[in-house]
Amino acid sequence: MTPTRLAALPLKRPSATLLFVQVLSILLYPLMQDTAVERAAFRVIGLFVLGAALYVVKRGPWLTGFAISLALPVVALSIWLVFDFDFRRQAIMAALSAVFYFYAAGSLIAYMLEDEFATADELFAAGATFTLLAWAFAYV
C-alpha cells in the first residue's frame, strides 16, 4: 500500500485514538516543563491532540469548517509562541483553544447521541469527551 493510500484510510476507532493521545500527553506533561525545548515538545504533542480532536469532529454531525477556523489560529499561535513568547498571544491562544475543545466535546456528545446503540468507538468517545472538557477548562 502506498503512503498516500495509507493516509487516506479512515481510522476504525478515532475516538480511541484521541483518548490515547490525550492520556499520553497527560502522562508526559510532568516530564516536559523544565526547559524551553521540553515545553516546545509538549506544544507539539498538544498539536497532535488538536489534530485528533479535529478528525473526530470531522466524523461527527457538527460543522467541520467552524472547528478548522478555530484550530488554524491555535496552530499558528502555538508555533509562533515557541519562537517568540508573549502573554497576550498566549491568552488569545488559550481562549481559542478553550472554545475549540468545548466545541469538539459538544461534537463528540452529538456523535454519541446520533443512534440508539453504543458502539466501541462511542464508548471511547465518552472518555475522550471528558478529557476534552478537562483540556477546555484548563485553558479557561
| Distance, CA of 2 to CA of 40 (rounded, Å) | 32
Which position has the grid cell 464508548? 123
Give residue-wise pLDDT tens across range 71-88.
999 999 888 887 887 889
DSSP letters along 85-136, please? Answer: --HHHHHHHHHHHHHHHHHHHHHHHHHHTSSSS--HHHHHHHHHHHHHHHHH
Q: Is pLDDT at 114 greater than 90 in this prediction?
A: no
pTM: 0.83
Please give the residue range of the domain that contains residue 114.
Answer: 14-139
pLDDT of 8 reads 46
Tell me, yes or no, whether 1 lies in a domain: no
Q: Is pLDDT at 36 greater than 80 in this prediction?
A: no
Count structural domains, the chain: 1
Tell me, yes or no, whether 101 lies in a domain: yes
pLDDT of 107 reads 92
Tell me, yes or no, whether 87 lies in a domain: yes
pLDDT band at 3 (very low <50, low <70, confident <90, very high): very low
Tell me, yes or no, whether 51 lies in a domain: yes
Tell me, yes or no, whether 120 lies in a domain: yes
C-alpha cell at 99: 472554545
pLDDT top residue among 34 and 63: 63
Tell me, yes or no, whether 108 lies in a domain: yes
Q: Once rounded to an integer, what is the mean pLDDT over residues 96-103?
A: 94
pLDDT band at 100 (very low <50, low <70, confident <90, very high): very high
Tell me, yes or no, whether 4 lies in a domain: no
Tell me, yes or no, whether 95 lies in a domain: yes
